[in-house]
Copies of this chain bind each other. A is one copy, B any other.
Amino acid sequence: MNIPETNLPRIVIIGGGFGGLNLAKSLKNTEAQVVLIDKHNYHTFQPLLYQVATAGLEPDSIAYPIRKIFKKQKNFFFRVAEVQNIQTNNNILETTIGNLEYDHLVIATGSKSNYFGNDVIERLSMPMKFVPQALNLRSLILQNFEAALLTNDLEERKSLMNYVIVGGGPTGTELAGALAELKRHVLPKDYPDLDLRQMNIHIIEAAPRVLAAMSPEASSKALKFLKKMGVNVWLDTMVKDYDGDLIKTSNKDLNSKTLIWAAGVQGSSPIGISSDIIKGGRIKTDEYNKAIGYNNIYAIGDVALMESEENPKGYPMVAQPAIQQGKNLAKNFKRSFKNQKLKPFVYKDLGSMATIGRNLAVADLPKIKLQGFIAWLIWMFVHLMALVGFRNKVIALFNWVWGYLRYDKGVRLIIRPYKRATKEQEEEVLS
């Protein structure tokens, strides 16, 4: 792997998401060698992936080259690789580009879609956790409309124009809102021959409310906004089956060629960690993010399950706990190198928010709950500031202002047409 030998302790971080990135940045000027491994050469700002999928932004607005972030950081090394196994007894990480010894190993591998064991839905639905998946969804949406033009079979056309999103969390509601804006403002101009009333957007949510992790006020207002924008929301409803066209639910059957899976996530723990401490794919840790039963292995962010009195099921799998745990763990590394006492992780809840459409957002802030235009402004400001790099901020802001003024989403490009894997190909993968 060609990482230089060193007398300093070597901290290996798996994953360049919010947790791993903030940990590595906070280890700047530390007496340690920091090695970051990720399967992509960029950090993804996942909260805005839905805008890549709905032709609002190109990947370069929300993805940032990892080498660029760390170009001035000495003792930092980055490698593009996938982890294959962890030899916890020998302190060795096995990857697709060779083995690496570690003194400390930090697992920051995030989460992956949870299909609850339904292989058919896994094969036929569209996930949206990574940039290539968001681009696939963008291509598919546009391909569907091109195909809808070609058919005279009304049921077929409706199925092509319908979008069913499973999951009414932030990803599902934001995506539904963006699709509703495409329907109202963009697609009628692009496809004057299609009757856009035949396009229907559905959210299927198992819980009795959307945005179930937010306040009841936010949920009810978000539901109102969604309905106002023409989104059909099916609460207390479970998806049962899908055959690529017909979606069977516990409530009503729907026809759609496009089932978008935003329903559940599970931790994405790597192979080699004792299954005794893994629950829902997450690694149980103590309050210092140290994996239970290990001396030099840590987990942060989505993949960490830090059970506490306030959060018996662990912290929410969103950006803030990952960022804060990354920073706290960095401080604890520094403390331990100086033989100082470690500080347990204390979560500072900065609130949460979701945007549904133009001027329509909901925000649960620490001191106030807001809905509507002000919440929408705050959402934009917070997300803009959170993007890495001035260049990305300017390009995202320009696209937003332009899109807002022109009622437009400019990136309607099918660069790589999406081809659903055939059953045979997928059976090979899944077997």
Contact B415 A63 (CB under 8 A): yes
Query: Which single member of B59, B131, B191, B411 contacts A67 (CB below 8 Å)?
Result: B191
A402 at the interface (CB under 8 A from B): yes
Contact A2 B152 (CB under 8 A): yes
Contact A413 B42 (CB under 8 A): yes
List, in ascending order, chain B residues with CB within 8 A of A199's CB.
Answer: none
A257 at the interface (CB under 8 A from B): no
CB contact under 8 A between A414 and B80, given known A41-B142, A58-B58, A58-B60: yes
A430 at the interface (CB under 8 A from B): no
A1 at the interface (CB under 8 A from B): yes
Copies in the complex: 2
Q: Chain A: how many interface residues by the 8 Å CB criterion?
A: 47
List, in ascending order, chain B residues with CB within 8 A of A80's CB.
Answer: 146, 414
A2 to B416: give the CA distance in the assembly, Å: 24
Of residues 392 through 410 on chain A, the ones whose CB sits less than 8 Å from some CB of chain B are 394-395, 398-399, 402, 410
Query: Which single member of B60, B77, B399, B415 contacts A411 (CB below 8 Å)?
Result: B60
CB of A140, distance to nearest CB on chain B (Å): 13
CB of A66, distance to nearest CB on chain B (Å): 9
A5 at the interface (CB under 8 A from B): no
A389 to B399: give the CA distance in the assembly, Å: 13
Contact A71 B398 (CB under 8 A): no
Query: Which single member of B71, B79, B149 contacts A146 (CB below 8 Å)?
Result: B79
Q: Specify the chain B residue showing the minimal Cβ separation from A392.
A: B410
CB of A73, distance to nearest CB on chain B (Å): 10
Contact B41 A135 (CB under 8 A): no
Of residues 356 through 399 on chain A, the ones whose CB sits less than 8 Å from some CB of chain B are 389, 391, 394-395, 398-399
Contact A97 B60 (CB under 8 A): no
Of residues 52 through 78 on chain A, the ones whose CB sits less than 8 Å from some CB of chain B are 58-60, 63, 65, 67-68, 71, 77
